[in-house]
Amino acid sequence: MSGDFVEGHEINSGLINTTYIATYVRDNGVKNRYILQRINEKVFTDPLAVMHNVECVTRHINWKVLRVKRDLGGQTLNLYPARGGKFYAKGEGAGVWRCYNFIEGCHTYDIVENTRQAYQAARAFGSFQDLVSDLPTEDILETIPDFHNTPRRFARLMELVESDPMGRLESVQDEVDFVKQRETLCSSLIKQLDAGDLPQRITHNDTKLNNVMMDSETDEAVCVIDLDTVMPGLSLYDFGDLVRTATSPAAEDEVDLTKVEMRMSMFEALAEGYLDGCDCLTAKEIENLVTGGKVITLETGIRFLADYLEGDVYFKTDHASHNLDRCRTQLRLVECIEEKEDAMENFVQRISKAKR
Ligand code: GN1
Ligand code: MG
What 3-state class would DSSP assign to 261? coil
Query: Could you tell me where the DSSP H helices lie in the chain?
Result: 47-67, 115-132, 150-163, 173-180, 183-186, 188-194, 235-246, 264-277, 283-287, 289-310, 322-355
**DSSP per-residue string spanning 145-184:** TTTT-HHHHHHHHHHHHHH-TTS-GGGGHHHHHHHHTTHH
What is the whole-number distance in angstroms between the Cα of residue 159 and the centre of ligand 2? Answer: 28
**Mean pLDDT, all residues of the chain:** 93
Buried b (16+ CB within 10 A) or exposed e, 241-257: bbbbbbbbebebbbeee
pLDDT value at position 68? 59
Nearest atom, ligand 1, residue 13 CA: 4
What phi, psi does 149 have (nearest 5°)? -85, 90
For the Cβ of 43 lying below 6 angstroms from any atom of ligand 1, the answer is yes
- Output the CA angle 275-279-280, nearest 5 degrees: 115
Q: Contact 27/2 with Cβ under 8 angstroms?
A: no
Tell me the average pLDDT across 230-247. Answer: 97
Tell me what pLDDT residue 69 has: 54
Cβ atoms of 253 and 147 within 8 Å: the answer is: no
Whether the pTM exceeds 0.90: the reply is yes
Cα 79 to averaged position of ligand 2 atoms, centre (Å):
17
Residue type, 285: E
Q: What is the ipTM of this complex?
A: 0.97
Pick the atom of ligand 1 nearest to 144's CA. 11
Of residues 242 and 73, the one with the higher pLDDT is 242
CB of 14 within 6 A of ligand 1: the answer is: yes
Q: What is the pLDDT of residue 66?
A: 67
Alpha carbon 74 to chain centroid, angstroms: 19
Q: Is the CB of 206 under 6 A from ligand 1?
A: yes
pLDDT one-digit tens code per residue, 287-296 = 999 999 999 9
Q: Tell me which of 6-10, 13-17, 170-174, 240-244 is least confident.
A: 13-17
Assess contact for 82 and 55: CB atoms under 8 A.
Answer: no
Mean pLDDT throughout 319-348? 98
pLDDT-based confidence at residue 74 (cuts at 50, 70, 90): low
Q: What is the DSSP string of 309-346?
A: HHTS-SS--SSTTHHHHHHHHHHHHHHHHHHHHHHHHH
Residue 67: the pLDDT is: 63
Return the pLDDT at 134.
87
Note the pLDDT tens digit of each residue in 8-24: 999 887 788 889 999 99
Q: Is the CB of 300 under 6 A from ligand 1?
A: yes
